[in-house]
Structure 1
Amino acid sequence: MLAAQRRGRILAELSRDGTVRVTDLVELLGVSDMTVRRDLVALHRDGLLEKVHGGALAVAEPSSSEPGFAAKSVQRRNEKEAIAAAAAELVHTGMAIAVSAGTTTHALTEHIARVPHLTVVTNSVWVADVLHRTGDATTSVLLTGGLRTPSDALVGPVAVSSLRSLHVDAFFMGVHGMDVRAGFSTPNLLESETNRAMIERSRRLIVLADSSKWGVVGLSSMAALSEAAVLVTDSGLSAHASGALADHVGELVVVDPADGDDLDSPRLGSARPDTDDLGAGHA
C-alpha cells in the first residue's frame, strides 16, 4: 500500500471515530509501528490531525478553514473514486456540463475525459488540466478565469461574469459540507458565489460528496439540499444521515467503495428513485 493510500485510510478512520490508536492502525494497515508513526507525523505536519501519545485526534476545523487541493487529495480516496465513477455514468456524448473545483470532481474528470463532443465549463485549474492532457479531441473546455483559492478554484467577479450568458445541461458540484439546515456549503465566500452562478445556469444540479461531508458546515451556503437533482455519496453514511438526505434531494445514489483495487466497478444503490423529469432543475 502506498503512503498516500495509508494516510487516506488513517484519515477515513479518524473521520468516523474522532480518534485513532497506533496499535489499531498497525493491525488495520498491515505495516510496522514505525511506519504508522511516520504517517501520523506527516499528517500532523499538514494540519490534518493532532498527534498525541499512542495515536491521533481529529482536528476541529473552523467554518472558514479551507484545506488546499494537495491536503484534500489524500483523504478518502476510495470513496471519491467510487463516487466519481458513478457520477460519470450521468455524462453522455454531446452534453454541455459545468464542473466545479474539488478533488472528487477532479476524479470525475478522469472518467469522462474520453467522452466525445463534450462542452465543459469549469472554474477548476485541475479539471481543465486533465481535459487538456487527456481529453477527447472533440471536447471543448471553457475555463472561467478569476481569483485562485487555496483549493485551486477560480472565483470572483470575473468568474461570475463569464457564466452569465451560458446554459448547461448539468452542473457537477463538489462541496465542503452538507447539512439539513445549512445545505451544501463551502468555507470560501467567493467560491460560494461562483458556484451559485453555475447552479443558476444549469438545468440539473448533481452533487458529489463523500460521507465525511455530512454534518460539516462551511461559512457560506451554496444551495439547499432540495436543489440537488442527484446526490452521489458513499455507504459510510449512517442510516439517519441517509434518511435525512433521501428526504430532501431528488435522488440519492449511494456507492459502496471498493476496498481494494477494483475501483472502476462500484456497487450502486439508490435510496429513492428520481421521479422528476430529467429536464427539471434550475432555469
Structure 2
Amino acid sequence: MSDNQNLLAGQRRALILDEVRRRGGIRVSELTRMLRVSDMTVRRDLDVLARQGALEKVHGGAVPVAERRTHEPGFEAKSSLELSAKSEIARAAAALAGPGGAVALSGGTTTFALAHELLQVPDLTVVTNSVRVADVFHHAQQAGEGGREPGGAAAVVLTGGVRTPSDALVGPVADAAIASLHFDVLFLGVHGISVEAGLSTPNLAEAETNRHFIRSARRVVVVADHTKWGTTGLSSFASLDEVDTLVTDAGLPRADREEIAAHLAELIIAGEPEAPSR
C-alpha cells in the first residue's frame, strides 16, 4: 500500500477496522508496515477507535469487540466504517428517487451519505427521523448548495421523538408522525440483515419506528454495506419479503449475493457496471 502514508486519519482508521474485522485481530507492528506510518500513529488510531467502541485494544495490537445483540454503536463510531462503500451505495440509491417525490430516510450513516446525494434531486419532500439527515438538507438550504432556486430545494419534515445513540428519533411521537404520512420510497438503514432474522436493530424503540416507516411506504429500499449481511440485532422488525430493493456494495461475496437474490425482488450492487437482479 504505497499510498497509505498519505491517507487521511479517518481513511486510515477505516482500513485498520477492516483488517481487524477480516483477520480477527492484528498487531501494531503489522499495521505500521501495512500503512507505512509510525508506531505512535497506529497506537493513536487504536486509542481513538477503542474510545469509540469500534475495537478492543490488547497487548501489542487490537481485536474486534465482542458485540452483544443489544450493543448500539454511536453515530461517530459508525461513520468511519466502510466509507467508500457507503458513498457508492448512496450514489446508486439516489437514482431511485425521482424529482418531486415524497421520500423517507431512516437514521444511520448510510442514509446520511445518501442525503448528500439527494441534494441534487429537485423538489423532494423528505421525511426523516434522523437529526443528522435533516441537518444535511438544512445546511444545504442555508448555503444555497447547487445554485438552486428556493422552490427546487427539498421540503424536510423531521419527526419528534427520543434520540438514540445513532441520532435517530424514535418512540410514540415519531411513530404517530410517520403513521399519518405516505411515501413513494423509504430508504432504510439497518444494523443487520439476514434470511433468518430479516431486518434487525439493537434498539427496541427504533424497531417499532422502523415498522411504521415500512407500513407507510409504497417501496422499501434497504441501503446497507456488505458487513451488515449476516448480522443480527436484538429485535427484528421486518422480513426480507417486505423489502423491495437492497442496495449494497461490491464487497458482498458471490455466494451471499445468490442467497439474497433468492429472497428479494431486486438486488443492486453499487459500483458494478451491471447490477445483478432477479
Q: SS state of the match for residue 212, structure 2?
A: helix
Measure the CA separation in 1 of the matches of 2:267 and 2:23.
24
Residue 272 of structure 2 corresponds to 267
Report the secondary structure of 1:204's partner residue: strand
**Mean CA deviation greater in 127-136 or 194-203:** 127-136
**One-letter identity of the residue aligned with 1:74:** S
Identify if the C-alpha distance between structure 1 residues 28 and 232 changes in structure 2 by more than 3 Å, giving closer, same or farther: farther
Tell me the residue number matched to 1:87.
93
- The answer to whether 1:62 aligns with 2:68 is yes
Structure 1 residue 8: Cα displacement: 1.1
- Sort the Cα spacing of 1:243 and 1:24 in 2 relative to 1 into closer, same or farther, 3 A: farther
Matched-pair identity in %: 54
1:176 and 2:184 are equivalent in the alignment:
no
TM-score by length of 2: 0.90
The structure 2 residue matched to 1:241, chosen from 247, 252, 256, is: 256
Q: Give SS of 2:180's match.
A: coil
- Which ranges of structure 1 fall in alignment gaps of 5 or more residues? 256-265, 274-283
Contact 1:253–1:268 under 8 Å retained in 2: no
What corresponds to 2:166 in structure 1? 151
Asked if structure 1 preserves the Cα contact closer than 8 Å seen for 2:106 and 2:129, the reply is yes
Cα distance in 2 between the residues matched to 1:233 and 1:21: 30
- The reply to whether residue 46 of structure 1 matches residue 61 of structure 2 is no
> Structure 1 runs of 4+ off > 4 angstroms?
none
Distance in 2 of aligned mates of 1:252 and 1:156: 31
* Aligned residue-pair number: 263
1 or 2, which has the higher helix percentage? Answer: 2
For 2:121, give the aligned amino acid. V
Q: Please say if residues 109 and 130 of structure 1, whose CA atoms lie closer than 8 Å, have aligned partners that are also in contact.
A: yes
For residues 83 and 5 of structure 1, the distance between their equivalents in structure 2, rounded to whole angstroms, comes to 17
Q: Secondary structure at the match of 1:203?
A: strand
Distance verdict in 2 for CA 1:268–1:15, change over 3 Å: farther
1:33 aligns with 39
Give 1:239 shift: 2.3
Q: Where does residue 3 of structure 1 map in the other structure?
A: 9
Instruction: Tell me, yes or no, if the aligned pair for 2:202 and 2:233 is still in contact at 8 Å.
Output: yes
The alignment's TM-score, normalised by the length of structure 1, stands at 0.89
Question: Aligned partners of 1:240 and 1:267: how far apart in 2?
Answer: 17
- Structure 2: where are the runs of 5+ without partners? 1-6, 142-147
CA–CA separation in structure 1 for the residues paired with 2:109 and 2:165: 13
Is 2:117 the counterpart of 1:102?
A: no
Is 96-105 or 128-137 further displaced after alignment?
128-137
